[in-house]
Chains A and B, each alone.
Chain A
């Protein structure tokens, strides 16, 4: 059925890429088809694959956006993750646009903590003067994430809450020991370490990153989607987060009490088995973790 829909879509469509998206939405219809869903999906605008009609809510306050979650709404910030999912046939009844909430876009440094609003774009994370002064290493890494068009639209909150194992912010924040500030539907704000496996339900309002003197941060993103590696190092020790290799980014901490090569070998040996998929086998990911960590620890060593 999948193959037939692809062939059918290709012969009927104008552009190959567009028809692929159509084929996906058709396939997902086949998988869970109901007459109501079918009717909704057949609303096609212009030359596009269908985006089913939805209701839109554009609040100006964090609390109102958080309360809307009770209605089963989905948040839209830059749309980098959500819009392609809608194109691929994801059906959403209500969308809450976050772009009108000014309080999500603030950046401040106070009491040794950098607080970055969840609605801050990649472009600002890479270039905002407060961030480049407080965490120049993070800003430098983020100058290389995505392309200029995405950097101006995508938000750090979206990167995190998309919960995509290949995205870069979760490994970075694990290495930097960040805390999430989440607005709960009942109006309270709750803090949770980014490490926690269970983030409370609600709207991510901001991210707090502790500013540790002498802490350096580097991230290897050149081997994605095989693996990514975020490393922060200071006198006391290192925090290393691995992306792409597990269902969720994995954090390890250890003391910097040996040569980079020896530390990296022990680190890789103690890792749980990384996933094997069409990209790479687990053994290769483990080997890369060792090689890349040794390289990064050498780069971070005091000169």
Chain B
């Protein structure tokens, strides 16, 4: 049994070591201790997906993941996508298709789309909808988000990175 846990992880490509309480949530660790406030807290119950980050490339609800659970993992937040000032193709596609309204669900949606395209570079519309059903857009802008994911798949194929 432990009161404080030492963890080592890769956060957006950089090695990081930290000491965390057992009950500290990953979302709070990222926002409060790492200053990465791009990860949004929506429902706080692992339902809405706004807090989605990638753990070893797999989408996870950071509001329902304890910080110690990413020990040894590679975590990607929305801040980790743009490389050398250039947006990721998924980000470019969301911009081009105006796939956000209030923007609160956008970081989670983009990371979800990023994981989808890594697993399936050319998803059909049914697969895109199945994946996106994990996240909620309270502005209901789903049509543009689906189109942005299709556009992102095209961009990735044309300029892979």
Residues of A within 8 A of B (CB): 15, 17-18, 21, 43, 45-49, 51-57, 79-80, 83-84, 87, 94-95, 97, 99, 147-150, 152-153
* CB closest residue in chain A, given B28: A46
Among B22, B31, B43, B131, the residue within 8 A (CB) of A56 is B22
> Across the interface, do A56 and B5 meet the contact criterion of CB distance under 8 Å?
yes
Q: Which residue, A54, A149, A152, A153, has most C-beta atoms of chain B within 10 A? A: A149
By the criterion CB–CB under 8 Å, are B44 and A21 in contact? yes
CB of B61 within 8 Å of the partner chain: yes
Shortest beta-carbon distance from B35 to chain A in Å: 13
5 A-B pairs with the lowest CB-CB distances in the bound complex, closest first: A147-B134, A46-B28, A56-B22, A17-B43, A55-B1
User: Once the chains are docked, how many angstroms separate the CA of A80 from the CA of B48?
Assistant: 13
Residues of B within 8 A of A51 (CB): 23, 25
Q: Which residue of A lies closest to B5 (CB)?
A: A56
B46 at the interface (CB under 8 A from A): yes
Contact A152 B42 (CB under 8 A): no
* Residue with the greatest number of chain A CB neighbours at <10 A, chosen from B5, B52, B66: B66
**Residues in B whose Cβ lies below 8 Å from that of A94:** 1
Q: Are A56 and B2 touching (Cβ within 8 A)? A: yes
Closest residue on chain B to residue A93 by CB atoms: B1
Given contacts A56-B2, A149-B59, contact A15 B42 (CB under 8 A): yes
The 8 Å CB contact of A148, one of B41, B46, B59, is B59
Assess the B46–A48 pair: CB atoms within 8 A: no
Q: Which of B2, B31, B41, B46 contacts A84 (CB 8 A)?
A: B46
Contacts of A83 on B, CB cut-off 8 Å? 46, 64
Mark interface residues in B32-60 (1 if CB within 8 Å of A CB, else 0).
10000000011111111100100000111
